[in-house]
């Protein structure tokens, strides 16, 4: 029987789904003035921190004997220069992990990256003092790929 060599895409997908966080070159996740940016609605408020809520893709998982939940996948937070700020942000909030977590971040520009389906995608966000920036699931799942095809 001849050995088969897995395709690079399958190896990448397996690595993305099974590893802690994805190690990427900073240029792949650095801020781009050509990409759209999500920012909070309304005026800036007082405060030292801003807030971020990311609706990541989900995985159907059995919890207990007969209960299935669509658990939120983690995401990575990169600074505007592409350096990793937070890896594998636990995004399993309310409703037994089906609702995303609200996290606090220092105000600034960030690139959020997460696996949607089997593709690692990125969204640019601005976090402002005292305000909440939200990333809807459909925006993340339709966002540019971190690694071009």
Sorting pLDDT into bands at 50, 70 and 90, what band is 64?
Answer: confident
pLDDT at site 18: 45
Compute the mean pLDDT over every residue in the chain, rounded to the nearest whole number.
83
114 neighbors 29 (Cβ within 8 angstroms): no
Burial classification of residue 137, based on how many CB atoms lie within 10 Å of its CB (0-12 exposed, 13-18 middle, 19 or more buried): middle
Residue 20 has pLDDT above 70, yes or no: no
Higher pLDDT, 75 or 148: 75
The structural domains of the chain, ordered by start, are 25-141 (2.60.40)
pLDDT for the residue 17: 46
Residue recorded with tokens 């942000």: 89
Q: Locate 44 and state its tokens.
A: 């800036």
> Global pTM?
0.79
Q: Residue 1 pLDDT > 50, yes or no?
A: no
Stretch among 71-75, 100-104, 139-143, 145-149 having the lowest mean pLDDT: 145-149
């Amino acid at each position: 029987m001849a050995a088969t060599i897995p395709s690079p895409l399958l190896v990448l997908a397996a690595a993305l789904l099974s590893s802690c966080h994805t190690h990427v070159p900073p240029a792949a996740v650095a801020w781009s003035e050509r990409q759209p940016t999500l920012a909070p609605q309304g005026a800036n408020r007082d405060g030292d921190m801003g807030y971020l809520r990311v609706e990541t893709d989900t995985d159907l998982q059995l919890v207990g004997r007969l209960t299935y939940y669509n658990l939120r996948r983690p995401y990575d937070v990169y600074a505007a220069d592409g350096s990793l700020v937070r890896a594998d942000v636990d995004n399993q909030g309310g409703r037994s992990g089906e609702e995303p977590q609200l996290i606090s971040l220092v105000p600034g520009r960030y690139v959020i990256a997460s696996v949607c389906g089997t593709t690692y995608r990125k969204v640019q966000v601005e976090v402002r003092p005292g305000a909440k920036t939200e990333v809807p699931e459909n925006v993340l799942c339709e966002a540019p790929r971190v690694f071009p095809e």
